[in-house]
Amino acid sequence: MKATFGAGCFWCVEHEFRKLRGVTSTSVGYMGGNKKNPSYQDVCTDETGHAEVVHLEFDPSVVSYAEILAAFWRIHDPTSLNRQGPDVGTQYRSVIFCHNSEQHEEAARSREAVQNSGRFKKKIVTEILPAPEFYRAEEYHQQYYEKCGLT
């Protein structure tokens, strides 16, 4: 199965998702904007509407979508609009791109549960949207932490 998330800079998000048992592959790229085949430079202008995302494949017999959602909520601040840490712009927004109606329903329930848990004092701003076309980022961005020896 596949899942796609935006939660800030895709380098660190990919690194965290790769740690999950049952995630069989990851790719970083761009999704949700208005430009076909955007480059990193295009997306960094904050004019394409794309988010930096991690697209992952997972084995649901090993890890559930609910467990992946739990990791998503844990690895970033979903109350921060268009920003994660020092990274600012719509490309760093918190977003769940759903590949089917079941994912959409589960993501919405999960967001509500996290909001109601009291874990975050501010309102969660995470978007939940149907998954549009995924544009794979340039090769040097793929598994960036591993390539740079940051693991």
Residues classed as catalytic = 9
Are 26 and 13 in contact by the 8 Å Cβ rule? The answer is no
CA dist 120 and 8 (Å) reads 17
H/E stretch holding 53: strand 51-58
- Computed on alpha carbons and rounded to an integer, the radius of gyration of the chain in Å comes to 14
**Helix 10-18 vs helix 65-74: angle between axes, to the nearest 10 degrees?**
130
* φ/ψ (deg, to 5) at 134: -95, 130
Kindly give the pairing relationship between strand 51-58 and strand 83-84. Answer: unpaired
